[in-house]
C-alpha cells in the first residue's frame, strides 16, 4: 500500500468516524443481498454484529494507516472466523459488500483512487485473515494445537 493510499484511507475514514452502527447494519444488508447463504454464519443479533464490525474495522484500518501492517488482533479474527464456518471464497463477497457500503456512505468522496486504496486495504486484511485461518495461528504467531 502506498503512502498516498494510506492518506486517502485516513481522510475518508475520518469522514466516517466514529464508525456508526448503521454502517454495520447497511454492510450486513448488502452482504446478505449479495449472498443470502451467508446469513447462517451470523446467529446473533445483527445490531450487535454491526457494532463488532465497526470496532474491528476501526482497529484494522487504523493499524494499517498508522503502521502499514495488519494487527495480530485481525489475524486472530481470521482464525476465529474459520471456526465459525467462514470459507476463503466468503472474503470476496465480504469485500464487495464492504466497498459498496463505503461507496454509499462516502458518496462523491469515494473517487476511483479512493476505491483503489480501500480495495488494496481490504486485500491486505483479507489475505492476513485467510492465512491465519489456514495456519491456525494464535495472535502471538504460535501454532494453535487445541
CATH code of residue 55: 1.10.490.10
pTM comes to 0.84
Q: Which three cell numbers stand for residue 72?
A: 495480530
Q: Measure the CA–CA gap between 146 and 132, rounded to whole angstroms.
A: 15
Is residue 139 one of the residues assigned to a domain?
no
pLDDT band at 15 (very low <50, low <70, confident <90, very high): confident
Count of the separate structural domains present in the chain = 1
pLDDT band at 100 (very low <50, low <70, confident <90, very high): very high
Is residue 141 one of the residues assigned to a domain?
no
**pLDDT for 9:** 92
CA nearest to 110, candidates 23, 18, 12: 12
Q: Which residues contact 96 (CB under 8 A, 6 or more apart)?
A: 34
**pLDDT for 79:** 92
What range defines the domain where residue 61 resides?
3-134
Amino acid at each position: 500500500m502506498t503512502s498516498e493510499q494510506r492518506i486517502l484511507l485516513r481522510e475518508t475514514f475520518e469522514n466516517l468516524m466514529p464508525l456508526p452502527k448503521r454502517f454495520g447494519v447497511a454492510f450486513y444488508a448488502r452482504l446478505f443481498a449479495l449472498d443470502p447463504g451467508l446469513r447462517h454464519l451470523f446467529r446473533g443479533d445483527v445490531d450487535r454484529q454491526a457494532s463488532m464490525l465497526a470496532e474491528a474495522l476501526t482497529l484494522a484500518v487504523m493499524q494499517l494507516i498508522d503502521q502499514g501492517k495488519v494487527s495480530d488482533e485481525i489475524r486472530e479474527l481470521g482464525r476465529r472466523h474459520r471456526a465459525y464456518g467462514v470459507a476463503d471464497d466468503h472474503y470476496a463477497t465480504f469485500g464487495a459488500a464492504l466497498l459498496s457500503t463505503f461507496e454509499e456512505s462516502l458518496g462523491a468522496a469515494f473517487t476511483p483512487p479512493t476505491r483503489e486504496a480501500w480495495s488494496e486495504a481490504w486485500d491486505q486484511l483479507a489475505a492476513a485473515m485467510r492465512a491465519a485461518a489456514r495456519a491456525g495461528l494464535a495472535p502471538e504467531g504460535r501454532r494453535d494445537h487445541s
